Structure 1
């Protein structure tokens, strides 16, 4: 997705955006009473950061919250369902809703989609301006009829509504869009596919010449969905935006927003002004794969395992607060913690500190919060001066062990504190510092020598699985380093020396891949192979090369 940053002349913009997220979910909560709620991962992540997750739906009266999957259904005594999806009501999304409804005994179905009706019109080949001209909500009404058919009685009740559930507020000044996490700008290689789809038209020779009409219908719908979402946000904020763009896809998005019919109407009455900057992610691949030193929040997100179904949160091991041992088989019954604590002011404050402070200051903030929490609970805290260590933080956390009332009072704070301790003790944390040092050396070397020289320096540290220690780089690490190197080197001067250096690095890396006993998820996606049996190793290496 093209990342964007928004600045506004109104000082209340971040608060207004948080309220926008709350209001969008308020529509869902109003329909959740006595319902089984089925939610896709993108909307679940938005709810997670906005309101704290499924618990908020249960507070609103929902009977249960389930995964949006064809393998789920409602119970015999559950007549109401609410579906919350971040996608178009088309294709696989429609198939899943149909499967769930036909397997259940619903008499009342409500569907919330994060995609506006105007985009649904375009998806069904209707002109984008027809909604303004009075067509109304014809696509949603047709889907309501389908829901009644699937429920088995046209007299049952079905509702389809649009709710802008696309944002997840990571912090008061940082919002992400989980539904667009896989939306990536065009690369030069995409020109071949674009030109192939338009055989009768003039060939496009450069990415800068690509416009909205030359894109695939799927990509057009993605862009129009994003534009519609931004329009909903700006309408809520009463903002008249001025757009700037860096990169091909960003230019197309900014242009589509400028020409969007509903946006033109909004801008006539908007009370505030804002500047919006769209930037293609490909223009900062170095930033995406680089290691930036002192940011503890970035280290947490990179080191701890991802929360299933989420792109911006992690699983935090909470066993340390119980009487279980970390290697105890029964510890799997302890639900993991997470970083999102929207209903805990102390935890929110600490999380913002981790994002904004340098590591040393952030760790001191963790200690301060733990000391204050322990003092409020009359726990026997022991103060110490000097450098704050992970062991010291662990000792403070141990004061809360098995004191369930104290844990409940400070649960959010303890989760984030444990995330800090587990990250600082994680092997990846030491490797992070090694990466940072190596990247700085690479920058220096590339400035003083050629790319072949840098690649030759990389060769000796590419080691196979059986020759590696915990401190050595894995194949995934080398892929990150290679992306970093080629992102900062600029225009390449091809020649025999570079070809030879690249060939040697490629062979060493492929051999390392072939020696892996078990492929990581990333390597499986890249190679298309789960593991390399010895009898097929030579062929696999040949295929990978």
Structure 2
């Protein structure tokens, strides 16, 4: 049975798939990682997209391609890339899907300006939409055009029913100056850098959308100065205040500074097989939570620098459309090494492999016995 968090992500990806028919899709790295955990590239191609490209200012559409969909975290650099792509293409229909809350995007578009009245009146979303639509219209430069700007909160992944991750914010980290107890408790958003302030607002906006979708009204507990800032945005932001007036399901939200998480308060630590794999294997290109698996033993190819050598694309561990894989992945996070080895051995033993020893003939299932079974032919 899927968790509410899994359903949250699936439902929003369905909204994306409904808009990509006949379009060329431009997607940034963080959103591409989110797509990977929902099913990957083929979800877009099978859903009707005519092509998929990286969100880069060096990309453009072909002359016969008139519809484009942009899946973006809507940072200032990415918005500039979108303008460049549209200006160098022949699009007449552009859909910009912002994965960041539009009220936060509005603040970033108007950095340094006094927009207090717009924020407090709740008009930030509509104003941001107008600005982005105007940007697309000017970049298209044609009399006949159609533009659409929408917010879809593609900021999270749920590898299992009990694990929730946020790839766009994997670099968020409190400042650590060599002491766990700060000299002063006085800290606010404007004491942070622009990027840190933006990340906190964006994460708060994503969590607000998640809680609104699930009708959650949170009680917040936090530990650490950085966490107090995130808690403050969730408590005082106008959109969060408006959401709490209608949401009824009570939950507890615990936020802890990563610099204080020195004792492994989370259960997913070095005890899990997946954590050991992440520590040993290189990251899948462009990803923060997936590992790159060397595929060269399966074919005759010489790779000099795995996983960056383009002669052989690396494999990965998670395959969203394979139920057997999903179960094994869940085991690698939540079960002991012994249980994971037994699960892998059972699955491999069911394959049509000659001379495959049964479990009864083995005193103990080990990584070596699983490896031996894999290479048998």
TM bracket, shorter-chain basis: 0.7 to 0.9
Moved more, 228-237 or 179-188: 179-188
Is contact 2:106–2:125 with CA below 8 Å preserved after alignment? no
Q: Tell me the equivalent position of 1:309.
A: 286
Match 1:118 to one of 62, 87, 103: 103
Residues 307 and 207 of structure 1: CA distance in aligned 2, closer, same or farther (over 3 Å): farther
Q: What is the CA distance between 1:326 and its match in structure 2? A: 6.0
Corresponding position: 1:141 with 2:125: no
Is contact 1:121–1:128 with CA below 8 Å preserved after alignment? no
Q: For residues 242 and 336 of structure 1, what CA distance do their matches in structure 2 show?
A: 43
Match 2:320 to one of 330, 333, 342: 342
Residues 317 and 87 of structure 1: CA distance in aligned 2, closer, same or farther (over 3 Å): same
1:6-85 matched pairs, under 5 angstroms: 15-49=3-37, 51-85=38-72
Q: Tell me the equivalent position of 1:485.
A: none
Q: Tell me the equivalent position of 2:73.
A: 86
Q: Tell me the equivalent position of 2:254.
A: 277
User: Secondary structure of the residue that 1:314 maps to in structure 2?
Assistant: coil
1:352-391 matched pairs, under 5 angstroms: 352-372=330-350, 374=351, 381-383=356-358, 384-391=361-368
- What TM-score do you get using the length of structure 2 for normalisation? 0.88
1:109-508 matched pairs, under 5 angstroms: 109-123=94-108, 124=110, 125=113, 126-127=115-116, 130=119, 132-134=121-123, 137-188=126-177, 206-285=183-262, 287=264, 294-322=271-299, 324=300, 333-372=311-350, 374=351, 381-383=356-358, 384-398=361-375
User: Secondary structure of the residue that 2:3 maps to in structure 1?
Assistant: helix
Q: Tell me the equivalent position of 1:96.
A: 81
Q: For residues 335 and 363 of structure 1, what CA distance do their matches in structure 2 show?
A: 26
The answer for unaligned runs of 5 or more in structure 2 is none
Q: For residues 130 and 184 of structure 2, what CA distance do their matches in structure 1 show?
A: 40
Is contact 2:23–2:67 with CA below 8 Å preserved after alignment? yes
Q: What is the CA distance between 1:189 and its match in structure 2? A: 8.1
Q: For residues 189 and 127 of structure 1, what CA distance do their matches in structure 2 show?
A: 36
Q: What is the CA distance between 1:218 and its match in structure 2? A: 4.0
Instruction: Encode CA deviations 1:367-418: one digit per residue, 9 max, x unaligned.
Output: 112223x1xx58663323112233432343345x7xxxxxxxxxxxxxxxxx
- What TM-score do you get using the length of structure 1 for normalisation? 0.62
Q: What is the CA distance between 1:137 and its match in structure 2? A: 1.3
Over the aligned positions, Cα root-mean-square deviation in angstroms equals 2.8
Q: For residues 6 and 98 of structure 2, what CA distance do their matches in structure 1 show?
A: 19
Is contact 1:245–1:277 with CA below 8 Å preserved after alignment? yes
Q: What is the CA distance between 1:268 and its match in structure 2? A: 2.4
Is contact 1:145–1:154 with CA below 8 Å preserved after alignment? no
Q: What is the CA distance between 1:361 and its match in structure 2? A: 2.3
The answer for unaligned runs of 5 or more in structure 1 is 1-11, 191-204, 402-545
Task: Specify the structure having the higher radius of gyration (Cα).
Answer: 1
Q: Tell me the equivalent position of 1:518.
A: none
Q: For residues 147 and 328 of structure 1, what CA distance do their matches in structure 2 show?
A: 43
Q: What is the CA distance between 1:339 and its match in structure 2? A: 1.7
Residues 216 and 389 of structure 1: CA distance in aligned 2, closer, same or farther (over 3 Å): closer
Instruction: Encode CA deviations 1:91-139: one digit per residue, 9 max, x unaligned.
Output: x122211221122211111111111121123222422764754565122
Q: For residues 368 and 95 of structure 2, what CA distance do their matches in structure 1 show?
A: 50
Q: What is the CA distance between 1:157 and its match in structure 2? A: 1.3
Is contact 2:103–2:124 with CA below 8 Å preserved after alignment? no
